[in-house]
A and B are shown apart, each in its own frame.
Chain A
């Protein structure tokens, strides 16, 4: 499946993601990591740590609807993976980001921006692992 190269929309989206990370640190002193936020909303350590995460998640859910209000449609979601791959993938992502303490936003955006050595290592490892997985599923197994 060929997808359109969208440098401007992607760059603008990236700038907004960066802005949200800066604002969360400026206002609440927290890392804008999707893993930490959803994990802490599901199983909070303390109640005071729960509410802001839920509010942030609700904000996230509103994002695509605001996008629709401006652009006229919801963001495109085309899924080349089978339901089996989605479920297995989701499970592995959940296990991996919990063991590895972060995902693309926590390590990939905030961690790299802070110059965290752990995040550089995590990003290098998960990017490599994703490239290999896509190569194997697409070009070896032909899924």
Chain B
């Protein structure tokens, strides 16, 4: 049941992306090209999506829990840190260069279009490498802390 629900949500998302033009880098780049052949279509995508989600979430969050799970899983962080800021800036550079964002490119991976596959491969490499580096850094930081803790306990 959960899998069928997730699959159906994916179909609606993929259909929405197909209709919206988000899977078309020429259109995406033109949205950001204010000094050139500006195409404001993507403002309608964002506007429509945010409006429906804003209204829908207000209704969903009046419920105690989701239909098929015990709890809502929402991001807990509320402050802006360096990771978020640098990540957003790097994402923007990549989006401007390629014209694809993850949500725009993933649904059309199934079409087998070579440009999409090239982008998706690089995207996956970027995600996996970054996660490996981040977990190595955080476990290093963790073991440093434990070492320091051990030293401190020895000293005392």
| B86 interface residue (CB < 8 Å to A) | yes
Q: A22-B57, A78-B26 in contact; A138/B36 too (CB < 8 A)?
A: yes
B100 to chain A, nearest CB (A): 7
How many residues of A are in contact with the other chain, CB < 8 A?
Answer: 111
Q: A17-B17, A86-B122, A109-B50 in contact; A126/B10 too (CB < 8 A)?
A: no
Is A125 a contact partner of B88 (Cβ separation < 8 A)?
yes
Is B97 a contact partner of A62 (Cβ separation < 8 A)?
no
Residues of A within 8 Å of B48, CB to CB, are: 10-15, 17-18
Is B101 a contact partner of A93 (Cβ separation < 8 A)?
yes
Q: Is the interface of A mostly helix, strand, loop or mixed?
A: helix
Is A31 a contact partner of B74 (Cβ separation < 8 A)?
yes
Interface set, chain A 89-136, CB cutoff 8 A to B? 89-101, 103-105, 107-114, 116-118, 121-123, 125-135
Which A residues are within 8 Å of any B CB, using their own CB? 1-7, 9-35, 38-39, 42-43, 51-53, 55-67, 74-81, 83, 85-101, 103-105, 107-114, 116-118, 121-123, 125-135, 137-139
Which B residues are within 8 Å of any A CB, using their own CB? 2-27, 29-30, 32-37, 39-42, 44-54, 56-57, 59-60, 63, 65-69, 71-75, 77-80, 83-104, 106-111, 113, 115-116, 118-131, 134
